[in-house]
Amino acid sequence: MTRLARPLLFRGATLLPGGADWAPRAPIDLLVAGGRVAAIGAALEVTEAEEIGAHHLLLLPAFVNAHTHSPEALARGRAPMARLDEWLAAEYADGQDALPEARIRQAILVSAAEAIRGGAVQVTDHFRQIPPNVESVAIAAAAWAEGGIRGRIAMMLRDLPSPSASFTPPSTETALTVAEALVKAPPKGAEIGLGPSAPQRCSDALLSGLGALARQHGALLHLHLCETAKDAADCRTRFGTDPVAHLQALGLTGSHAEFAHCVHLTDAELDRMAATGTLMVHNPLANLRLGSGIAPVARALARGVRLAIGSDGPGSNDTQDMLEAAKFALLLPRAGRPDAEWPTPAQVLAMATGGAVLAPGARADLLAFDLRAAAFTAAKAEELAPRLLMAARPRDLKHVMADGAFLMRDGALLPPALAACA
């Protein structure tokens, strides 16, 4: 990304600050300089800045895609009537987990373009290649950077077989050797972490070893947990206790740990996640696509669990559109949860933006939607946040900025590597 040559002033915008505050302010000026929000206020006096007339723009923090699998971008729409295990066998049947360099780059650039058009500037890629290797992670990291996205790559690791797997997983020693190499000398271009596939696919030796490496090197730890009822039952049978307690005992919980899906967790398990500061990543579209269930999002929020939203992989969603994922996060619980377990628009927006707030000194990750779009016609002030989630579409998004640089301006993707995806 190339940062702006001089400060940029959005003049007269409508601002949704973010965090816990989604009440609009207007007219507001917002100044971007040095990759940060430099100032916010009414009628700012600024010299030597490029100015954008923003009376028709709605500004808010950019989205964060907290869980995906980039290799699936080249294999969408497969096994449309299948549940998870059958779908996995079809999705990876022809080598999506053993891609050559050019195909890894292609998958990620396609994903990056779609992510930006859906408002995301950061992506956590639970990256699967067999056998796991440092070289493929380096290719992926470079590709995410080339696409302008702030990437976080958690190499998927496992050492136990499963019915859906058509390969022999590596040994525990081999998996740990790859993990150690990744965190000791992480490839450039992205934040590098460790991604045990799921507790039922990993031995305790591998899990505890990955937990120790993550703590020692300050690396993120990202895994699937209790995505399906079968996954949850298998974990509880094998461990003889709840899976969160087992992962905690092995050293895999904490503020650096992220558990994707968590569809079939009990209240006690949610309480344990809250107490340890472990992040829950909600993937509503994949849960719906694969019939996995409806995650207990509102119950998790009520218990103080940190939550984020992911698109999941382009093969189980089948898009990378965070605006769409956020809408489904708002609406999916209404299909099978009591009214008291329906998250609010403000809660969902906070989850989708990683809790970010547009305030002086904050990282300049922001979205600018066109208030002249049909989604916002005749909207009252209190309707802007709900309409953003329920009615706005990617075509209504005018500008996307990350770290003070445009990834999309006036609807055009700017990273040169994405020219073919325009």
**CATH number, domain containing residue 156:** 3.20.20.140
Q: Which of 294, 325, 352 is the last residue of a domain?
A: 352
pLDDT one-digit tens code per residue, 221-254: 999 999 999 999 999 999 999 999 999 999 999 9
Q: What are the pLDDT digits (tens) for 296-314?
A: 999 999 999 999 999 999 9
Q: What is the DSSP letter of 357?
A: B
Q: Which domain holds residue 119?
A: 63-352
pLDDT tens-digit profile of 361-384? 999 999 999 999 999 999 999 999
Residue 1 has pLDDT above 80, yes or no: no
24-62 pLDDT per residue, tens: 999 999 999 999 999 999 999 998 999 999 999 999 999
Distance CA(232)–CA(149), nearest Å, equals 33
How high is the pLDDT of residue 165?
73
pLDDT digits (tens, 9 = 90+) for 268-296: 999 999 999 999 999 999 999 999 999 99
Q: Are residues 258 and 282 in the same domain?
A: yes
Domain count, the chain: 2
- Report the relative pairing of strands 150-157 and 120-127 from DSSP bridges: parallel
Which of 330, 352, 374 is the endpoint of a domain? 352
What is the predicted pLDDT for the residue at 202?
97
The CATH number assigned to the domain holding 25 equals 2.30.40.10
* pLDDT, position 163: 73
Q: What pLDDT is recorded for position 315?
A: 96
Check pLDDT > 70 for residue 183.
yes
Q: Is the pLDDT of residue 162 over 90?
A: no
Confirm whether 1 is domain-assigned.
no
Same domain, 160 and 301: yes
* Domain closes at, from 315, 334, 352: 352
For residue 343, what are the CA distances in angstroms to 133, 146, 205, 346?
40, 36, 38, 8
Extended strands (E) in 197-272? 221-225, 257-261
Average pLDDT, the chain: 96
Does the pLDDT value for residue 209 go beyond 80? yes
If asked whether residues 109 and 53 sit together in one domain, one would say no
Question: Quick check: is 108 in a domain?
Answer: yes
In a domain, 2, yes or no: no
Distance CA 139, CA 133 (A): 11
Residues 218, 99 share a domain: yes
Question: In the predicted model, is pLDDT for residue 2 greater than 70?
Answer: no
- 396, 266: one domain: no
